[in-house]
Amino acid sequence: MEDKKDTRPPHKGIKKGLYVIPTLFTAANVGMGFLAVLWSIRGFHAAVTDPATAGIYFDHSAIAIGLAILFDTLDGRVARATHTATEIGVQFDSLADVLTFGIAPTALVFAWAVAPTFAEGGPAYNTGVLLLFMYLMCGAFRLARFNLQATRPRVLAEGSAKVDKKNFVGLPIPPAGGLLAAIVHFSPAPLNFYGPENSRYYTILVYCLIAVLSVLMVSKIRYSSMKTLGTRRTNFMMLLALVAMGMAVWLYSGYALLVISAIYVGHGLVWWIFRAMFSKRTTMA
């Protein structure tokens, strides 16, 4: 009796195994968010009695959120490079982002700024809790809108239905949470460490930033997706810039991460203002 020939396509097992790789990066994203929440809780308990120890926990939490941004970036790039993007992967990634860039930054900011500064139940305290809740809701809405846009391509000016891969509509939640984490990493000591008056002043500034980030996430301002970086030969200079940024982060992480995250959050707003001014000039001409 002749042996039956194996009709399976070659390397099928390897191909199936590739689907696990993006999921592992997403799982690492979830793990960083989980640790960030735990470290925020530890810092919250130490904020009043031992601000120095609390600052260490808050710094660990901020770094975990920063690493989660790296994992969140890699899972999408790996999925596109290996052609292993799936519908469940998109949903899993969004749920992970709700935890890591929604819940974890709000827990960190609450423990680092709101709770040590204002008495529980007071107007300023309640305002902070409300703003953090609105940040979380806007971030969840932003992710839900992104999932719809990924499955329903936008019709471009040419009239053909294509996915706009160059831009995001609204500020993505990872850089929003990354900016909050970068601020804490830059100054990890709880704000009550700077005295009552300075603590209130700094916390109010944080409130304003949270409100701005919330509005930007649900806005229709376009932000560069950075998905096309490295896809052309002319991006060699961009590769050098990325290497330089990596070295800057390694040597001066507090300053570098704060500047990089602030530039990304601000660039969409600056472009939107320039477009509005340019469109008004063309209509008047």
> Could you tell me if residue 84 is inside a domain?
yes
Q: How is 83-107 classified by DSSP, letter by letter?
A: T---HHHHHHHHHHHHIIIIIHHHH
**Which residues form the domain of 159?**
15-284
Q: Note whether residue 79 is domain-resident.
A: yes
Residues of the chain with pLDDT under 70: 1-19, 79, 84-85, 150-165, 226-236, 238, 279-285
Asked whether residue 143 is assigned to any structural domain, the reply reads yes
Q: Give residue 247's pLDDT.
A: 84
Q: Which pLDDT score is estimated for 227?
A: 63
105 occurs within a structural domain: yes
pLDDT at 94: 84
Going by the DSSP 8-state scheme, the letter that residue 170 receives in this structure is S
In a domain, 229, yes or no: yes
pLDDT for the residue 184:
96
Q: Is there a domain that residue 114 lies in? A: yes
Report the number of secondary-structure helices (H) and strands (E) in the chain. 11, 4
- How many domains, the chain? 1
Is 7 a domain residue? no
3-state SS track over 20-86: HHHHHHHHHHHHHHHHHHHHHHHHHHHCCCCHHHHHHHHHHHHHHHHHHHHHHHHHHHHHHHCCCCC
Check residue 272 and give its pLDDT: 84
Q: What pLDDT is stored for residue 2 in this prediction? A: 47
Q: Are 28 and 71 in contact (CB under 8 A)?
A: yes
Would you say residue 2 lies in a domain?
no
With tokens 């040419």, the residue in question is 158
pLDDT in tens, 72-105: 888 777 767 777 667 777 788 888 999 999 999 9
Task: Look up the pTM and report it.
Answer: 0.84
253-279 confidence digits (pLDDT tens): 889 999 999 999 998 888 888 887 776
- Give 38: exposed, middle or buried? Use CB within 10 Å, 0-12, 13-18, 19+: middle
> Would you state the pLDDT for residue 269?
87
